[in-house]
Structure 1
C-alpha cells in the first residue's frame, strides 16, 4: 500500500523499459494528455484563485508563489513570466523556492523537508495581510509547502494551495484549494510529468485570467508590456498599430513618447498627450477605454 496516489503504480508502467521506443513515447504522451484533462474540473477553484491574485495586486499588494522541487519549478516558471507578459514588477510577485537560487542549479531533496526555510523565505518575501500566495505541492504534504501555507495564513495572507492528491493537508491549510487529481505517474513518483503538466497548465490559465482582470490583456494582446528589447519593441509596435488603428510609423512614434509602454502609447497614437493618456488610465483603473 502506498502513502500517496502520486507514488502508486500507473497501469502503463509495467514492462515500460522493455517496450519499443515509439510505444514508450506514445504511452508518455497519452499520460500527459490525461493530465491535461484533470484541469477542467478545477476551473471553479481556478476562478477563485485568479480573483484572489488579482485582488491582491489591484490593491497594491503582492502575489507570491511558493513550492519545492518540481512543483516549485512550475511555480517559478509562471512567476517569472508575469513581468515580461503583464508588466507586473517582480517585487510585487515574490518567489519562495525551497533552497533558493542554489537549488535551481543543484536540486536536493533535503530542503523540501525543512520548515524553517519556509519561514525564512516568507519573512524575506514581504508578504503581509491582504496579500495572496500560490503554494504548490504535488503530494499536498511537502513540509516546506505546509509550513509556508500555515505561516502565511497566520499572517493574514490568502493561501491558494495547488495539490494533485485529494484530501491533502495542503488543501486543509488553504483558503482556496485547487485539486489537480492527476493520479499515478508512468514513471512512479516522477511528479515532474503528469502532475507538473497539470500544474503548469493551471497556472498559465490563472495568471492569464489575472492579467485580464487587471486590464493587462486587451483583445488578446499583452498591452501592459514595456518594450525593452528588439523582439518586444517589434511586438509593441504591432500591438499599438492594431489597437489604435494607425500606421506602423505612428505607433513607433507614440511608443517613443511613452518610453515603450504600450497602454499609454495606444492612447497617444489616438491623439492624446502622454499626460492625458496617463490621467485617463488612472480614471479607468488601468484599463483601455472603448474607442
Structure 2
C-alpha cells in the first residue's frame, strides 16, 4: 500500500523527509505493543526449549533474514550462549547478508532444504520471518520444521499471513504503509528487530542468563567486556575493583561463579556445585542457603 503522507516525498526538503519518517516510526512501538501477548507466548516456548537443550532458529529472506542473523549473532557475546543455540539462517546463505541472491526467497524447496541442513528436530523452536507474510522460502522452512516436530512461530507484518499456516504462535506487526512504498527495511524492519530483541532477551532472562538486569553470563572476550565483567561483580557484591578482578580470575572468568562465591562466602568448588544444583541461575544459588 502507498502511504498518503509521503506521496510527495520527492518534493520534500531533507528536514521534511526525516520529520515524516520520525512521525511514521512513532507507530512502530504501538504496533509491537498490540502483539505483546503473542510475543510472550513465543518467549515461553523458546525458554522451555532452551532449558531442555533445544535450540532457536530464525529463517528469513532479505531484510527479514538479515535481522534474524543479526539477533542470533548478538547472543553469544551478550548472554554467553553457544553459537549453535541461537542460529539465524538467511535464504541464499552468508553471501545474501550483503548481496541479494536472485530467486532465493522464492524457493519453497530451499527453505525446506535449509531446515534439513540445520538439523532442526523436535525440541527446537523455528521462527519464520517474512514482512510480507508470504515468502515461499519461509513457508517451506516452517512447513519442514513442523514436519520435524519443532515448535513453529510465524512473524510477519500482515494479518492472516500465508506463513501462519500451522504455526504454533503467529505474530503480526501491523505497522502500516512505508514512507517509501514497499521498503520493508523501514517500519517493518524496525518492528521486526524490536520483536526479535524481545524474543531472545526475555528468553535469556527466563533461563538465568541475567541477574537483576545485569548480563552475568557475559563472555569477557575483549578488554571492554572484561571491564564490564568486573563492574558487574562490583555492582552485585559491593567489592572493590581489585577484589572483583581477583575472584573473577579465580573463577576462570565465570562471572556467575564469582558472584556466588562472593555472595555466599563459599570456595570455588562448593559455589560451582551450588550453581549447578540451581540450574546455573544466580539468584536461586545464592538463596539456597545451607541446602
For Structure 1 versus Structure 2, the TM-score category normalised by the shorter chain is: over 0.9
Within 5 Å, which residues of 2 pair with 1:189-228?
A: 189-228=182-221
Quote the residue 2:20 is aligned against: 27
Q: Tell me, yes or no, if the aligned pair for 1:95 and 1:125 is still in contact at 8 Å.
A: no
SS in 2 for 1:140: coil
SS in 2 for 1:90: coil
Report whether the alignment pairs 1:185 with 2:185. Answer: no
1:238 aligns with one of 231, 241, 247 = 231
Deviation digits for residues 49-76 of structure 1, max 9, x if unmatched?
Answer: 1111111110011111110000111111
Take 1:124 and 1:274, find their aligned partners in 2: how far apart are those partners?
41
- Please list every run of at least 4 consecutive aligned residues from structure 1 whose deviation after the TM superposition is greater than 6 angstroms: none
Quote the residue 1:171 is aligned against: 164
Take 1:252 and 1:268, find their aligned partners in 2: how far apart are those partners?
13
Quote the residue 1:76 is aligned against: 69
Quote the residue 1:134 is aligned against: 127
RMSD, aligned α-carbons: 1.3
Deviation at 1:109, TM superposition (A): 4.3
Number of matched pairs: 284
SS in 1 for 2:184: coil
Deviation at 1:231, TM superposition (A): 0.4
Relative to the length of structure 1, the TM-score reads 0.94
Segments of 5+ residues of structure 1 without an aligned counterpart are 1-7
Take 2:119 and 2:252, find their aligned partners in 1: how far apart are those partners?
29
Which shows bigger deviation, 96-105 or 184-193? 96-105
Take 1:92 and 1:134, find their aligned partners in 2: how far apart are those partners?
14
Q: Tell me, yes or no, if the aligned pair for 1:74 and 1:200 is still in contact at 8 Å.
A: yes
Structure with the bigger RCO (C-alpha within 8 Å, sep 6+) is 1
Q: Tell me, yes or no, if the aligned pair for 1:94 and 1:125 is still in contact at 8 Å.
A: no
Change (3 A) 1:39 1:109: farther
Segments of 5+ residues of structure 2 without an aligned counterpart are none
Within 5 Å, which residues of 2 pair with 1:84-163?
A: 84-163=77-156
Report whether the alignment pairs 1:275 with 2:269. Answer: yes
Take 2:253 and 2:58, find their aligned partners in 1: how far apart are those partners?
28
Which shows bigger deviation, 149-158 or 104-113? 104-113
Q: Tell me, yes or no, if the aligned pair for 1:135 and 1:162 is still in contact at 8 Å.
A: yes
Relative to the length of structure 2, the TM-score reads 0.94
